[in-house]
Homo-oligomer: A and B are copies of this chain.
């Protein structure tokens, strides 16, 4: 490590922590709730606040990008070229919009009045995601100060979305529109967490998603079950027979070829997952469930992180009101969704569902299947990917007692769902790695959202190490 310890990253971060927290509090006071039409102006104010702060930090290019849909929920783009023609290009992703603060009465202090208590900063967005995006501004300053550079060792780009909490409805289009400006070698997402306060970890993959609706039609109108029941097809019966066959006895999905190409968990990753201190009773409380049940041969974490699933999200048909109504109903419907893992192809799963239905639905039943959008691709970064190695090294140093001594072990997690990360991977064609230090108890989307100030500072420190590492300077 060549860095002069006077300007070492950790020392710089610590010296500037008070100002960092005060700045972040200013930003957190802006209630940039993208889901609330009355807060559109605040989302814009938040974007402008961030843009000004990025300029002050030294980013030579800072732009506010309008999102699609005319909703006025802009994103912020910033770029800071390295100046080194061989430097890799990194795009950092985060978002500056937040969840609503409601119900306000469940908060100990108001959601948009940030307060630090016992080393924790309480405010809506403190952890998700303003805090975790904001540590990058301190991180790049620490990186420059520690290395004596005037520009980062990597070409640094930031894309900070303004409607992630509204489901990122225009983000893929925004990425496509600005694909050239955002071109990069690796995407660093700072919108996730670590396993727990004692276990630094990084996310290596997220499951994709394909959502569909199946509609089954029986009689052209409801008919009397006394007059006709037992002699004509009941669409609910046909639907439940179909759906009951969606999984086999081992709770594996029965669509033909569904598992073809699935990137199976390697022995190393299974061992690393198993090292995570998993408390099933506690997990079940979070899952609001009494039992862990799933595909035979896999642990709970493997099931939610690394295995594809078929889930029935909703079902309806016939009489659903009070009392009984003795009908053979006209229609039955179900919403189902598939979580997909690396190696599965959206179009292939879609076709598999279509052919599975065509094969199983009796000829005398009318049905249709429709898909919700195009779905979300799964993303996965192999454990031996150099960028992933850089992230674990950076985190290992940030969590070590001495950043130049023995690094802490960093474990791997995945996420069972996915946000705009898959869009980043798909549109930008770059691997996605995750630098997020939120804790499970930070209360995302809940009252009393908070963040450990120490973790934000570790994030800034890790980011500084990461830029050096990715540039090849260790």
Contacts and interface: CB of A to CB of B under 8 A. Distances in A.
Interface of A: 207, 209, 211, 213, 218-221, 223-234, 236-237, 239-241, 243-247, 284, 287-295, 300, 303-304, 307-309, 311-320, 323-330, 332-335, 337, 339, 362, 364, 366, 372, 415-418
**What's the number of copies of this chain in the assembled complex?**
2
Given A304-B230, A314-B320, A417-B226, A364 B244 contact: no
Given A236-B312, A244-B241, A315-B316, A304 B229 contact: yes
A218 B313 CA distance: 12
A312 B228 contact: no
Nearest to A306: B230
Shortest 4 CB-CB contacts between residues of A and residues of B: A226-B417, A244-B244, A291-B364, A230-B309
B225 A289 contact: no
Nearest to A237: B312
27 contacts: A211-B324, A213-B324, A218-B289, A220-B288, A226-B418, A227-B287, A227-B417, A229-B311, A229-B416, A230-B339, A231-B300, A231-B303, A231-B304, A232-B284, A232-B289, A233-B293, A234-B311, A236-B315, A240-B240, A240-B244, A244-B244, A313-B319, A313-B325, A313-B327, A313-B329, A314-B329, A315-B316
A187 to B, nearest CB: 20
Nearest to A245: B244
Given A315-B236, A318-B315, A364 B230 contact: no
B315 A240 contact: yes
B207 A226 contact: yes
Nearest to A415: B226
A318 B326 CA distance: 23
A182 to B, nearest CB: 25
Which of A211, A224, A246, A313 lies at the interface centre, i.e. has the most chain B CB atoms within 10 A of its CB? A313
Contacts of A232: 284, 287, 289, 291-294
